[in-house]
């Protein structure tokens, strides 16, 4: 294609020269034509390079985030099914609550990670921060697969598990905000929602892989899974890490960030600048992020609930989670594209309303399900995650960073998002405590519904940004 364009330009120039020699075109007009031809030729490669960079950012965002969150989510699956007798051998239900609480521990570290990676990404560059994120995640995940059980090293076993989970949380604190910011900033003006949606589609793909990898393993004996089998997905993370590093090495920094650096508009301490000048934006984004508690509720709590209370096999529950999240993965790009057309707020708020209604329906059906009679559970689970949750989940990677200007965008999204995610991280343990021994699924649904309602309210009071030019995003303060 480039050769054709090059020869086309040569042919056009030759024709102009011939017309000049025969006197059919004035010399002044010839000079203007040559300048116009050169400008057009230069502009075309620039536009092509921008499109190529946007595609690279979206692709690397999808792959990198998928592999990062594969590492992150396999822990949640292992915590729901295997970690309690190995690392938290307490009597009664306390051990299971402690095992699920380790899922939430990482969310406590995520705000600290957001501050660290946000500063690194806003001062040194998005690519530098994203490379550091994946190296830390890969190392922590691989080491989890090597930690001996409580019966071997005693109290050091849960301590090491919690420590590695904290390191995972530090890494995850910068992953999706960095990938989303980079994808949004490199995307075409009218397609930011579509391009950026691939980042969170990657996170959903990681969740699908994290559940799917346990399905064949779960067919093996319980003794094997408790001794060795559960470690396999963690040890495989070394391959995941190498692939992601290769992908991230090909990234380029967005123009809007490079311009901020060149014009000396970067902020030395983004956190202080955010608190001083953008407090309402941070509060609204943190509130909107509460809907993400649905991840832990559906993929971790309902996995434990379905197997222990309803008596559904763990293989079937894992299959339901995998299929539902696969549906989410398919729908996310479509919903991102829809938000480019109708706006971010209508899609996001509609998703929140759907989640509230379907959470009650799904948990209610699960509480009354019996092995072999789970059809309605499947239908409601797929509707909940593949449509309602996907609507809000597909929009937030573009909607949240659009609330902040380029020089503090990474930090603004990362810190606000991670503050909102703290509740989401502990949602499996909170739901387990609310449910107790009385099968209080209504209380669990009310807890989830309250958090999601706050998300919808915060979105209603946030500005619509779908049609705002990228260079002007976040410049209007409250």
Listing DSSP states for 133-144 in one string gives HHHHHHHHHHHH
Query: In sequence order, which residues have a C-beta less than 8 Å from that of residue 261 and are 6 or more positions away?
Result: none
- For position 92, what pLDDT does the model report? 60
Higher confidence at residue 374 or residue 53?
374
Q: What is the pLDDT of residues 73-98, one digit of tens each?
A: 788 788 878 888 888 887 666 777 77
Structure pTM?
0.76
Higher confidence at residue 478 or residue 96?
96
Higher confidence at residue 202 or residue 36?
202
- Establish how many alpha carbons lie within 13 A of residue 323's alpha carbon, considering only the half-sphere containing its beta carbon: 13
Phi, psi of 115 (to 5 degrees): -65, -45
For 193, the token pair is: 């929602």
**Weakest mean pLDDT among 59-63, 133-137, 177-181, 251-255:** 251-255
pLDDT average, residue stretch 271-277: 91
Q: How confident is the model at residue 256 (pLDDT cuts 50, 70, 90)?
A: confident
Q: How confident is the model at residue 4 (pLDDT cuts 50, 70, 90)?
A: very low
Kindly tell me if the per-residue pLDDT of 200 is higher than 90.
Answer: no
Higher confidence at residue 28 or residue 162?
162
Dist CA 40 CA 209 (whole Å) = 46
Query: In sequence order, which residues have a C-beta less than 8 Å from that of residue 173 and are 6 or more positions away?
Result: 109, 110, 111, 112, 113, 114, 115, 116, 117, 414, 418
Cα-to-chain-centroid distance, residue 224: 33
Kindly tell me if the per-residue pLDDT of 107 is higher than 80.
Answer: no
- For position 284, what pLDDT does the model report? 97
pLDDT average, residue stretch 403-423: 89
| Closest C-alpha to 106, from 67, 79, 145 | 79
> What is the CB neighbour count within 10 angstroms for residue 436?
12
pLDDT average, residue stretch 409-427: 87
Output DSSP code: residue 228: T
437, containing H or E segment: none
Higher confidence at residue 141 or residue 399?
399
Q: How confident is the model at residue 477 (pLDDT cuts 50, 70, 90)?
A: low
pLDDT average, residue stretch 42-52: 62
pLDDT average, residue stretch 190-196: 93
Average pLDDT value for the chain = 83
**Cβ pair 112, 175 in contact under 8 A:** no
Maximum average pLDDT range among 25-34, 293-302, 392-401: 392-401
Give the position of tokens 């989970």.
165
326, containing H or E segment: helix 314-342
| Closest C-alpha to 337, from 385, 390, 402, 290 | 390
Higher confidence at residue 214 or residue 28?
214
Q: How confident is the model at residue 179 (pLDDT cuts 50, 70, 90)?
A: confident
Label residues 59-79 b or e (16+ Cβ within 10 Å = b).
Answer: ebbbbbbbbbbbbbbbbbbbb
Q: How many Å is the Cα radius of gyration of the chain?
A: 25
**Cβ pair 283, 140 in contact under 8 A:** no
Query: In sequence order, which residues have a C-beta less than 8 Å from that of residue 306 and are 6 or more positions away?
Result: 312, 316, 317, 320, 366, 369, 377
Dist CA 411 CA 120 (whole Å) = 9
Higher confidence at residue 346 or residue 322?
346
Query: In sequence order, which residues have a C-beta less than 8 Å from that of residue 53 and are 6 or more positions away?
Result: 186, 252
pLDDT average, residue stretch 178-207: 88
First to last CA, the chain: 48
Kindly tell me if the per-residue pLDDT of 23 is higher than 60.
Answer: no
pLDDT average, residue stretch 38-49: 52
For 81, the token pair is: 């099914």
Kindly tell me if the per-residue pLDDT of 5 is higher than 90.
Answer: no
Phi, psi of 272 (to 5 degrees): -65, -40
For 171, the token pair is: 């890494």
**Cβ pair 287, 454 in contact under 8 A:** yes
């Amino acid at each position: 294609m480039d050769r054709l364009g090059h020869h086309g330009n040569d042919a056009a120039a030759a024709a102009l020269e011939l017309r000049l020699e025969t006197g059919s075109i004035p010399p002044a007009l010839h000079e203007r034509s040559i300048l116009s031809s050169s400008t057009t030729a230069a502009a075309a490669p620039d536009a092509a390079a921008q499109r190529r960079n946007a595609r690279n950012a979206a692709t690397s965002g999808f792959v990198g985030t998928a592999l990062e969150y594969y590492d992150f989510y396999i822990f949640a699956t292992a915590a729901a099914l295997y970690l309690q007798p190995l690392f938290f051998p307490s009597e009664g239900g306390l051990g299971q609550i402690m095992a699920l609480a380790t899922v939430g521990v990482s969310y406590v570290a995520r705000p600290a990670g957001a501050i660290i990676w946000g500063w690194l990404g806003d001062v040194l560059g998005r690519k530098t921060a994203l490379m550091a994120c994946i190296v830390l995640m890969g190392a922590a995940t691989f080491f989890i697969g090597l930690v001996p059980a409580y019966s071997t090293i005693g109290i050091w076993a849960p301590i090491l598990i919690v420590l590695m989970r904290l390191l995972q949380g530090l890494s995850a604190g910068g992953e999706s905000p960095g990938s989303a910011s980079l994808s949004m900033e490199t995307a075409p003006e009218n397609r930011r929602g579509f391009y950026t949606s691939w980042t969170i589609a990657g996170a959903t793909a990681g969740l699908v892989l994290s559940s799917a990898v346990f399905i064949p393993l779960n067919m093996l004996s319980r003794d094997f899974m408790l001794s060795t089998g559960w470690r396999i997905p963690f040890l495989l993370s070394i391959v995941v890490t190498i692939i992601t590093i290769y992908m991230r090495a090909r990234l380029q920094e967005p123009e809007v960030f490079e311009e901020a650096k060149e014009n000396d508009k970067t902020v030395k301490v983004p956190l202080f600048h955010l608190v001083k000048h953008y407090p309402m934006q941070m509060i609204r984004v943190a509130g909107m992020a509460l809907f993400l508690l649905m991840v832990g509720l559906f993929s971790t709590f309902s996995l434990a609930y379905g197997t222990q209370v309803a008596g559904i096999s763990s293989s079937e529950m894992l299959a339901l989670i995998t299929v539902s999240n696969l549906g989410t993965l398919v729908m996310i790009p479509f919903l991102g594209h829809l938000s480019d057309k109708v706006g971010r707020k209508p899609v996001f708020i509609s998703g929140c309303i759907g989640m509230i209604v379907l959470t009650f329906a799904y948990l209610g059906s699960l509480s009354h399900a019996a092995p072999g009679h789970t059809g309605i559970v499947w239908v409601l689970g797929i509707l909940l995650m593949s449509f309602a949750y996907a609507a809000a989940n597909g929009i937030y990677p573009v909607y949240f960073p659009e609330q902040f200007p380029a020089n503090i965008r990474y930090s603004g999204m990362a810190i606000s998002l991670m503050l909102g995610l703290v509740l989401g991280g502990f949602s499996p343990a909170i739901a387990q405590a609310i449910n107790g021994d009385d099968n209080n699924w209504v209380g669990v649904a009310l807890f989830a519904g309250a958090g999601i309602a706050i998300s919808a309210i915060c979105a209603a009071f946030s500005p619509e940004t779908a049609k705002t030019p990228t260079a002007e995003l976040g410049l209007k303060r409250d």
